[in-house]
Structure 1
Amino acid sequence: MEEKPKPSMEQIVYDKLKYSILHRELAPGTQLVESTISEKLKVSRTPIRNAIKRLSLEGLINIIANRGAFVIQPSIDEIVQAYEARIELECAAVKLSLSKITTDDINKLKLMVEDERASFINKDMIQFIDANEAFHMTLVRKSGNKFLIEFMQKIVNQINVYLQLFDTFYNVNFEESESIKEHLNIIDMIEKKDSLQLDKALREHISHSFRDLEINKASYKMLNDIF
């Protein structure tokens, strides 16, 4: 049996930082001081810098010239604006999509909800985000409007970062998940071709998603305690 190659130091730093950010151990706005990580791991700064760049491309770290790298810290106003834009764009897209959604599409949406349910059972945040994005973007793509699809994908990508930082995912089990119940209700409205109730259900669902964010979280660690 072949032994798996040992992960590189860059991968170790990347995995540790990402885990700490996604599991809310590092507070938004925390500065990632290369020298602190370097001293802890007894490693040069090059793999640390490369790991930070990778996380920056994923939207989890903000690199500011002449200041350093920081865990992303979106303002409440920024988050509100993203959700407000999402509500209007997604409802406009789904209005166009409703007549184009097939039975096969509905069956796929139900499978996505099962993936979402599994994510709560497995406590797998990435699986939850993937299933949630697949559900909503399936509805949007059926609109056939390339501008709505492009703008929605950009907003969803940004909101996914907020979900990773602030969502109550880790405190909820699948029996209690309002997200799963609301997705099933949305599917029901689609099957009934009830455009008015579908619009209402979508608006309420996205609003609930925003209200579920825990933007003020107290139990963070210092960078020095992570490594």
Structure 2
Amino acid sequence: MIALLDVTAIGVVMVDAQGRLVDVTASTHTAHQLEEAQVEFDEGPCRDCCLQGEQVGPVGLTLPAAAERWPRFTQTARAAGFATVAAVPLRLRDEVIGAVNIFHSDPVGIHPASLRLAQALADAATIGILHQRISQNQAERVSQLQTALNSRITIEQAKGVVGALLHVTPDAAFGYLRAHARSNQTSLTKVCQLVVEGQLSVETFAVPQDRKRHL
């Protein structure tokens, strides 16, 4: 990507679930340090880009305006040998998920065509990232639903086992199971699983709970 954009270095920051900037990746160790500096200093082109949701720069780091806008970041970036910086958002419509920082050692090194290409690449990357997040969220929901369904099936099976062996109604069987789980400080699903697998004797539930407390 560096060769494609004809720049010195690039870095990427993302917005986490709490709305904080997180350094994700960079093409060089120096660029990585500058991304971390922006997060630490709470100033810099990527920060502004994420907040505004639009392109920042190019900004000449040798100009007084840069030092006024980002005093600590500008000093750090100049010490690292960079003279120009810009940032393009990782954005889909109104949703901004991060920004791409572009660095160049030449004061006039970032060409407008490079920024247009950087934004096009950032747009494509954003779509891919958001689609991946949607897929992950859907997979998590399916997994949660499947777990809940499996738990419900296990509970119903255990109610059937207890009801059949103790000759009680399903509601009464459920009461036995729930009381046992509470008294032993374990989950209802775990108790039911043990009953279904034959690892917990149903005879345990044959003694009324009030009598158990006095035994």
With the shorter chain as reference, the TM-score category is under 0.3
The structure richer in strand per residue is 2
Larger Cα Rg: Structure 1 or Structure 2?
A: 2
The structure richer in helix per residue is 1
TM-score (norm 1): 0.23
